[in-house]
A and B are shown apart, each in its own frame.
Chain A
């Protein structure tokens, strides 16, 4: 059971109090009624499913009730950081030759092969 830092409550709380709410930083187009089919598909249906860092929305539904944003590593399932809704998307991409700007407690990406052995 994970701990998730709620940026509104200012503390780590049990995963049991939270609910995931899909990808973050996908703004509903202001002129949504006028957008093309392709633009609507992009907005509503298509998601990246990255291996590594993903920007997500979570809700502290059994806590303060707020939606907020989180950066999570889809490989390690680790929350890298959380921040309030409306705050800008943090840039966690590493500069060339520099280690990623992850918190000190994060760890190298763990692959299935490394954990389970290689199927040969």
Chain B
């Protein structure tokens, strides 16, 4: 059937303007493909091969290959993010091992928190110890920020990615913005 309408346009959860202050900037992340990947330990090698990175098996660790990231969220759970929007579900089609892959590209939104005050901004609502010794570059965890659940991922010494469910994104951004103004 002919489609009388142009392909629908995307409207992301957060407008794409940066905010924050001198010590911490807040930038809504661009669109990305995301998977919730679930599997048992024996499937990890095949899934890693299919994704082109080593799925981390240590708690709180993320693996990165270019613009693709795999975050350990639980003993059988990873959040896979591809910032280049490469198709992820299809990449796993031929993995040939038992797993569950669910597209959650639109479920989550992300905010990039950067700057010398980034950890302090996050600690205004997140109870995790974010000192580099305990939460180094490449560390990640599902946790809370005030009254929202987030996935926190440290991508640099002073750079963090905050993933949350779409409808919580304005709240998470507002909490971070209030903190960014005062750290």
Contact = CB atoms under 8 A, between A and B. Distances in A.
A54 B149 CA distance: 29
A9 B144 contact: no
B59 A16 contact: no
Contact of A64 (B77, B127, B144, B149): B77
A51 B59 CA distance: 35
Contacts of A62: 142-144, 149
A15 to B, nearest CB: 9
Contacts of B60: 9, 11
A65 B144 contact: no
Contacts of B73: 64-65
B141 interface: yes
Interface residues of A, number: 14
Contacts of A1: 127
B35 to A, nearest CB: 16
B75 A8 contact: yes
Mostly, the A contact residues are loop
Interface in B115-168: 127-128, 141-144, 149
B74 interface: yes
A10 interface: yes
Contact of A16 (B74, B142, B144): B144
Contacts of A29: none
A11 B73 CA distance: 14
26 contacts: A1-B127, A8-B59, A8-B74, A8-B75, A9-B59, A9-B60, A9-B141, A10-B59, A13-B127, A13-B128, A13-B143, A14-B128, A16-B127, A16-B144, A17-B143, A17-B144, A62-B144, A63-B141, A63-B143, A64-B73, A64-B74, A64-B75, A64-B77, A65-B77, A65-B142, A66-B74
Interface of B: 59-60, 73-75, 77, 127-128, 141-144, 149
Given A8-B74, A17-B127, 16 more contacts: A1-B127, A8-B75, A10-B59, A13-B127, A14-B127, A14-B128, A17-B143, A62-B142, A62-B144, A63-B141, A63-B142, A64-B73, A65-B74, A65-B77, A65-B142, A66-B75
Interface of A: 1, 8-11, 13-14, 16-17, 62-66
Closest 10 CB pairs of A and B: A64-B74, A14-B127, A9-B59, A65-B74, A62-B144, A62-B149, A8-B75, A16-B144, A10-B59, A63-B142
